[in-house]
A and B are shown apart, each in its own frame.
Chain A
Amino acid sequence: MTGQGKRETGNVLLEVRDLHATVEGREILRGIDLTVRTGEVHAIMGPNGSGKSTLAQVLAGHPAYAVTAGQVRYEGKDLLAMAPEARAREGVFLAFQYPVAIRGITNAYFLRSAVNAIRKHRGEEELGPVEFMDELEEKLKAIGWDSSYLTRPVNDGFSGGEKKRNEILQLAVLDPRLAILDETDSGLDIDALKTVAHTVDKLRRPDNATVLVTHYYRILTHIRPDFVHVLADGRIVKSGGKELALELEEKGYDWLREAAPVA
Chain B
Amino acid sequence: MTDVGHYLAAFKAFAGNGAGRAPSWLKEIREGAIARFAELGFPTTKQEEWRFTSVAPIAERRFSHPAARIPRPVLSQIESLFIGTGPRVVLVDGRYAPELSSAGGQPAGVRVESLASAVAQGPGSELAREHLARHARWHDSPFAALNTAFLADGAFVLVPAGATLEQPLEVLFLSSGRPATDGPTVSHPRSLIVIERGAQAAVVETYAGLGDGVYWSNAVTEVVVGEAARAELYRVQREGPQGLQVATTHSRQERDSFLGAHVVTLGAALARHDITTVLAGAGAELILNGLYLLRDDQHADHHTVIDHAQPHCASHEYFNGVLAGRAHGVFTGRIIVRPGAQRTDSKQTNNNLLLSTEARADSQPQLEIYADDVKCTHGSTVGPIDQTQLYYLRSRGLSPDAARSILTYGFGAEILDRMRHRAVRDRLDHLIRERLA
Contacts and interface: CB of A to CB of B under 8 A. Distances in A.
B413 interface: yes
B387 A88 contact: no
Contacts of A118: 397
The DSSP consensus for interface residues of chain B is helix
A169 to B, nearest CB: 12
Given A100-B389, A104-B414, A60 B409 contact: no
A193 interface: no
Interface stretch (B68-76, B113-121, B177-185, B398-406): B398-406
A60 B399 CA distance: 14
Contacts of B392: 96, 99-100, 102
B396 A88 contact: yes
Nearest to B414: A104
Contacts of B416: 104
Given A63-B387, A110-B406, 17 more contacts: A83-B394, A83-B400, A85-B394, A85-B398, A85-B400, A87-B395, A88-B394, A94-B395, A99-B392, A100-B388, A102-B389, A102-B407, A105-B407, A114-B398, A117-B398, A153-B414, A153-B417
A102 B393 CA distance: 10
Interface of A: 60-63, 83-85, 87-89, 93-94, 96, 99-100, 102-105, 109-110, 113-114, 117-118, 121, 153, 170, 174
B391 interface: yes
Given A62-B391, A84-B394, A117 B399 contact: yes
Nearest to B351: A103
Contacts of A62: 391
A113 B407 contact: no
A99 B388 CA distance: 10
Contact of A104 (B387, B399, B402, B411): B411
A89 B389 contact: no
14 contacts: A83-B394, A88-B395, A88-B396, A96-B395, A99-B392, A100-B389, A104-B412, A104-B416, A105-B407, A110-B406, A113-B402, A113-B406, A117-B398, A153-B410
A105 B410 contact: yes
Contacts of A113: 393, 396, 398, 402, 406
Given A113-B406, A117-B402, A104 B395 contact: no
B409 A114 contact: no
B396 to A, nearest CB: 4
Nearest to A94: B395
Given A63-B391, A100-B389, A104-B417, A174 B396 contact: yes
Contacts of B402: 113, 117
A244 B412 CA distance: 51
Number of contact residues on B: which range applies? Answer: 20 to 34
B388 A117 contact: no
A63 B417 CA distance: 32
Contacts of A153: 410, 414, 417
Contacts of B403: 85
A93 B397 CA distance: 9
B397 A102 contact: no
Nearest to A85: B394
The 5 residue pairs across chains A and B that have the minimum distance between CB atoms: A104-B410, A104-B414, A104-B413, A117-B397, A88-B397
A19 B411 CA distance: 39
Contacts of B388: 100
B371 to A, nearest CB: 29
Contacts of A85: 394-400, 403
Nearest to B396: A114
A103 B379 CA distance: 15
Contacts of A88: 394-397
Contacts of A117: 396-399, 402
A105 B409 contact: yes
A155 B414 CA distance: 14
Interface string B418-432: 000000000000000
Nearest to B416: A104
B409 A104 contact: yes
Interface string B288-315: 0000000000000000000000000000
